[in-house]
Amino acid sequence: GENVEQHPSTLSVQEGDSAVIKCTYSDSASNYFPWYKQELGKGPQLIIDIRSNVGEKKDQRIAVTLNKTAKHFSLHITETQPEDSAVYFCAASYTGANSKLTFGKGITLSVRP
């Protein structure tokens, strides 16, 4: 089955700096890669996703890049703000019957004011 790994497990950045979170996956059949943000006491919220027919996707301060050859994808947050502090999860799945998202263990991002 699919195995998704996130590195590092914690990340601390100064407000205004950029943050990059990386994930690797094992199943070359995976073609959908979402990123979720989870704030304390809340459920995960989708912030951006990418499908394997594109290499990069941007949404304001957030971008995701995908390298299918190397089987890794990254979340980029620019001009970080304190409200970006949260746990971020990456996930992977493939199109097909019985496919399901496999999540990484999450990374705690702290943005220092």
Partner 1 sequence: GAGVSQSPSNKVTEKGKDVELRCDPISGHTALYWYRQSLGQGLEFLIYFQGNSAPDKSGLPSDRFSAERTGGSVSTLTIQRTQQEDSAVYLCASSLVQGTDTQYFGPGTRLTVL
In the complex, the residues that contact partner 1 under the rule CB under 8 A are 31-32, 34, 36, 41-46, 49, 51, 89, 93-106
Residue 97 gets which letter from DSSP?
A: T
CA gap 85, 104 in Å, rounded: 18
CB of 80 or CB of 102, closer to partner 1: 102
CB neighbourhood size of 47 (10 A): 18
CB of 33 or CB of 77, closer to partner 1: 33
| Least distance between partner 1 and beta carbon 42 (Å) | 6
| Least distance between partner 1 and beta carbon 112 (Å) | 21
Cα pseudo-dihedral 105, 108, 77, 60, rounded to 10: 80
CA gap 89, 21 in Å, rounded: 9
| Least distance between partner 1 and beta carbon 113 (Å) | 24
CB of 78 or CB of 99, closer to partner 1: 99
